[in-house]
């Protein structure tokens, strides 16, 4: 599993806002500080805002701030909002079964291992909030 660059930037933006929690930060300032092009930054913050993690204030004195307490936002929350549910293999997607045993509706040993690995990954991501980073 590899995170999309958009998701990586979303995590960085939310972390940056968490470190400056009591401030209203401009898009230009954050894009410069985080090394993200301004145009791409605007696309990412739009998605983060739609997901409910941040809010914006319009106007010349406007900017962005966290919509929730940083302690209430986990890495899993951001990744899921940006990429959807985490599945490290297609056989683990909802309603899917192991293609090796499709006729019997059984699963192979690899499926069981990957399912355990995926569960551990999700648990770890849910246990890390933005304050922990």
Rounded to whole angstroms, how far apart are CA atoms 21 and 100?
50
**What are the beta bridge partners of residue 74?**
129
Going by CATH, does the domain composed of 5-132 fall within 1.10.10.10?
yes
Give pTM, 2 decimals.
0.85
Instruction: Report the percent of the chain where pLDDT is more than 90.
Output: 66
Contact 74, 14 (CB under 8 A): no
Confidence of residue 21 (pLDDT cuts 50, 70, 90): confident
Return the axis-axis angle of helices 75-83 and 5-19, rounded to nearest 10°.
Answer: 140
Q: Which of 102, 97, 53 shows the shortest CA–CA distance to 73?
A: 53
Write the pLDDT tens digit of every residue in 84-115: 988 777 777 665 566 665 555 666 677 778 88
Backbone torsions φ then ψ of 130, nearest 5 degrees: -60, -30
For residues 31 and 44, what is the distance between their CA atoms, to the nearest angstrom?
A: 11
């Amino acid at each position: 599993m590899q995170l999309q660059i958009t998701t990586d930037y979303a995590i960085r933006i939310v972390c940056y806002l968490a470190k400056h929690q009591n401030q209203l930060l401009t898009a230009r300032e954050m894009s410069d500080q985080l090394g993200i092009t301004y145009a791409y930054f605007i696309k990412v913050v739009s998605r983060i805002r739609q997901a409910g993690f941040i809010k914006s204030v319009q106007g010349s004195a406007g900017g962005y701030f966290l919509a929730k307490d940083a302690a209430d936002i986990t890495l899993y929350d951001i990744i899921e909002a940006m990429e959807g549910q985490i599945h490290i293999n297609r056989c683990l997607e909802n309603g899917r079964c192991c293609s090796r045993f499709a006729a019997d509706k059984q699963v192979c040993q690899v499926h069981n291992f990957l399912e355990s690995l995926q569960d551990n990954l999700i648990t770890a991501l849910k246990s890390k909030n933005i304050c922990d980073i």
